[in-house]
Amino acid sequence: MADSREPPPLFNDDDDSRKDDDNDDLFTSAVQSPVSELTTPEDQTKQEGAGDPLTSPPPATSFPPDPSGGDRPDLFESCEEPSVGGFSSVPLEQPAEGGGTQQVSTDAQDPPPTPPTTPSVGSLVEIPLIVDTDQDLQPSTSSSSSLTRPDFTLFDTTPDTSETPVSSPDILSPPTTSNTSTSTTTSAQELSASPPSSSALLDLSMTLPQELSSEPPANLVDASSVEPAVMSSFITPAEEASVLDAAAPTNDDDDDAAAAAAIPTNLAGEDPALSSEEALVTVYDSETPEDPPLPASNILPPMGAPLTPPVAPITPTATPNLTPNVTPAAPTPVTPVAAARPSAEQLESESGDEFIEISISDPQKIGDGMSSYMAYKVTTKTNIPYFRKKHWSVTRRFSDFLGLHGKLVEKHLHSGRIIPPAPEKSAIGTTKIKLGSDKSSDSSSTDFIERRRASLERYMNRTAAHPTLRSDPDFREFIELDAELPRATQTSALSSAGVLRLFNRVGETVNKMTFKMDESDQWFEEKTQQIENLDAQLRKLHAAMEGLVAYRRELATSTASFAKSAAVLSSVEEHSALSRALHQLAESTERTHTIHHAQADADFYHLSETTKDYIHLIGAVKDVFHERVKTFQTWQHSQTMLAKKREAKAKAELAGRMDKVQQAQDEVAEWEAKVERSQEEFDRISRAIKKEMEQFDIVRVKDFKDMLVKYLEALMTSQQQIIKVWETFLPEARAIS
């Protein structure tokens, strides 16, 4: 599974830590687990059960609070990445002290947490396993797809683990490496696109290192037999976001099984360890295509049917980010939640000092003809600890940016995050450049490149400004990995994916138009209205700005041509003083031309482009809102289904057909769970959106202020330059005699 890619820096760090520490295996396993943290009530419950026997009694008590909705809000608020992570992940980690902490560290990539992890292997091991299972649920990772493990396995394993701690660590170790290259990511996206998750399946997810996977096939089979609903939502181990995504899919209950089934084969690969301990299925994420040592794999949650029901709702909660924070707390198994909160706060406060600045430079044409492309140098400066360096550069091509955006959307849209839109593809502009013999051959293509460069830069910085998005492994890989990224094939408008996307979009549009949601939340009602108004107004404003830019350019051009003409006139003029004055006039107007031109650029880059960005951002906001509506629809659907099932049950009872009653009873229970889950999901996304919008509003207001101030400053500079120009001209005019 591990690809040839270089491991992302993050991973590397992990690796180093491992080496330092004796328990490399543990680390790795830990890593995995955090990633895939699951937060299903069931898991919690399981954990409780498992935890008691295994290691620490306290965890059980502590857990319940986490899963409970009450805790969540806090977590959400505290961590910018609201949704998932808070709950389940936290509790899990804590119980498995060593493993948990380590995991956290890896996920969070925070250096501090790692050291503590080392401790007791055996107990740790057990815990990690549990954790892994959780993780598995969420992440049906990219490359391999998702595996399903039977729940029962988990249970079994837990008790077993104590006995065979060693083996478990081994198993665990591989996970970090597994982060897959592009292929994985793509698969992940696909997965997310098609909601694979069955709620039940989601509950237990295990991420196993590749090695582990080798043996598990048998297990897999078992799992399948068990009928675990497997969730194939993938997650890059480190990310909470991914977890969230996974949660989202869970709602759609139906599809999962099939997806899950597919995965197992991949898994089969290697691990003896797994076999020994667990029947759990692990899915590897091949996202980090690197050395074997770093297996960052996300484990898919195998669902044992039994486990599933309670667990499902919880699943969404796990957030990798949280976990890292949590880790420090981990040593004390007690009240994981409490520990988590402070950590979250820390995050926030930290984020205030954190800075990351990305600049795009040196656009370069690579290749010839239609197969050529533009490459850009992406330079990052940051003080965020999980980046390996403070300052570095990589080279990326335009489609890489689009690919990154696609990945982020796949992973984070479900959880209600506003994902900054990537610059648009421009077939005309691109073709022009491709066919153009050399760069800078004509001004329109240089303009185009510069515009694109600037918009890429804004895009990257917007994305980097979002704490969740910037810690996304794909994002980090994008800015850190000093090698070519796998070609993003999904971005081309003509590719099959493009066509598919088009269809999806048409479907969505129809859905948007036909489905009118009864808005119960006044906040959303107002916000939706405001966003609509904002959209319309921004468009209008943007048109006005475009007009201004065009007119100012025209002014600059006509000023330049007047300058030329005045120069001719001055050469014709026979009166020498007047001729000199006219010549001076020509020069002055030439200079004003330059000023106007620069001002037109300022009009464009300060005003027009920022406004355009916001029009697109508003589009992203609408997408998020729509995502919520979809969640709502799922919920409604579940309710209708539940009603139907109840009716069927009542009928069956009336008819006195006891065999059917039993079946109906099961179905009712199943749908009740689904309703509960989807409602929870809906609440979650609503909260996440509110949180996101709050941030969005703040940033927007700030951006607009900055934009206007900058623009006014530019205007003022222009006027000052004009003053200078005419001040030098005036004596010349006076000198005419």
Partner 1 sequence: MMDGMEEVLHSETNGTKSGRSDTVDLNDSTLQVDISDALSEREKVKFTVHTKTTLPDYNKPEFSVVRQHEEFIWLHDRFDENEDYAGYIIPPPPPRPDFDASREKLQKLGEGEGSMTKEEFNKMKQELEAEYLATFKKTVAMHEVFLTRLAQHPIFRTDHNFKVFLEYEQDLSVRTKNKKEKVEGLFRSINRSTDEILLAATQKDVDDYFEKEKGFLLEYHAAIKDSTLKADKMTQAHKTGVADSYIKLSTGLSQLGTIEGPRLEKFINKVSDTFEKARKVEGRVASDEDLKLSDTLRYYVRDGSAAKDLLYRRLRCLANYEQANKNLDRARAKNKDVHAAELAQQNACERFEHMSARAKEELNSFKTRRVAAFKKNLIELAELELKHAKAQAQLLKNCLQALQEE
**Under the rule (CB under 8 A), what is the footprint of partner 1?**
530, 533-534, 537-538, 540-541, 543-545, 547-548, 550-552, 554-555, 558-559, 561-562, 564-566, 568-569, 572-575, 577-578, 581-582, 585, 697, 701, 704-705, 708-709, 712-713, 715-716, 719-720, 722-723, 726-727, 729-730, 733-734, 736-737
| Token digits of residue 18 | 């491992």
Angle between helices 398-412 and 443-465 in degrees, nearest 10: 30
For partner 1, the closer of residues 516 and 734 by Cβ is 734
- What's the closest the beta carbon of residue 549 comes to partner 1, in angstroms? 9
Report d(CA 117, CA 328) in Å as an integer.
9
User: SS in 3 state form for 686-726?
Assistant: HHHHHHHHHHHHHHHHHHHHHHHHHHHHHHHHHHHHHHHHH
Q: Give the distance, in angstroms, between the CA of residue 45 and the centroid of all CA atoms in the same chain.
A: 29
- What's the closest the beta carbon of residue 584 comes to partner 1, in angstroms? 9
- What's the closest the beta carbon of residue 452 comes to partner 1, in angstroms? 25
Report d(CA 588, CA 126) in Å as an integer.
80
- What's the closest the beta carbon of residue 355 comes to partner 1, in angstroms? 23
- Short-list 152, 154, 155, 157, CA closest to 167: 157
Give residues with Cβ within 8 angstroms of 480, minimum separation 6.
8, 9, 10, 380, 387, 388, 392, 394
For partner 1, the closer of residues 496 and 565 by Cβ is 565
Number of Cβ within a 10 Å radius of residue 619: 13
Sheet holding 373-382, edge to edge: 356-366, 373-382, 391-397
- What's the closest the beta carbon of residue 454 comes to partner 1, in angstroms? 21
For partner 1, the closer of residues 193 and 555 by Cβ is 555
Q: Is 335 left (phi over 0), alpha (psi -120 to 50) or beta?
A: left
* Residue 39 main-chain phi, psi, to 5 deg: -135, 75
- What's the closest the beta carbon of residue 316 comes to partner 1, in angstroms? 32
Distances (CA, A) of 83 to 78, 88, 118, 152, 467: 11, 11, 29, 28, 13
Report d(CA 333, CA 281) in Å as an integer.
27
- What's the closest the beta carbon of residue 630 comes to partner 1, in angstroms? 26
For partner 1, the closer of residues 506 and 577 by Cβ is 577
- Short-list 153, 160, 164, 34, CA closest to 99: 34
Name residue, tokens 């491992």. 18
For partner 1, the closer of residues 509 and 537 by Cβ is 537
For partner 1, the closer of residues 662 and 720 by Cβ is 720
- What's the closest the beta carbon of residue 520 comes to partner 1, in angstroms? 23
For partner 1, the closer of residues 408 and 566 by Cβ is 566
| Token digits of residue 132 | 């892994």
- What's the closest the beta carbon of residue 688 comes to partner 1, in angstroms? 22
Give residues with Cβ within 8 angstroms of 7, minimum separation 6.
15, 176, 177, 179, 288, 290, 291, 293, 294, 296
Radius of gyration of the chain (CA): 29
First and final CA of the chain: distance in angstroms?
A: 87
Report d(CA 229, CA 140) in Å as an integer.
12
CA 96, 102, 103, 104: dihedral to nearest 10 degrees? 100
For partner 1, the closer of residues 183 and 579 by Cβ is 579
For partner 1, the closer of residues 568 and 658 by Cβ is 568
Contact 165, 157 (CB under 8 A): no
- What's the closest the beta carbon of residue 119 comes to partner 1, in angstroms? 49
- What's the closest the beta carbon of residue 735 comes to partner 1, in angstroms? 9
For partner 1, the closer of residues 194 and 565 by Cβ is 565
- What's the closest the beta carbon of residue 585 comes to partner 1, in angstroms? 7
- What's the closest the beta carbon of residue 574 comes to partner 1, in angstroms? 6
For partner 1, the closer of residues 564 and 637 by Cβ is 564
- What's the closest the beta carbon of residue 89 comes to partner 1, in angstroms? 35
For partner 1, the closer of residues 669 and 730 by Cβ is 730
Contact 253, 269 (CB under 8 A): no
Residue 605 per-residue DSSP state: I
For partner 1, the closer of residues 376 and 711 by Cβ is 711
Give residues with Cβ within 8 angstroms of 698, minimum separation 6.
none
Angle at 492 between CA 488 and CA 495, to 5 degrees: 100
For partner 1, the closer of residues 383 and 719 by Cβ is 719
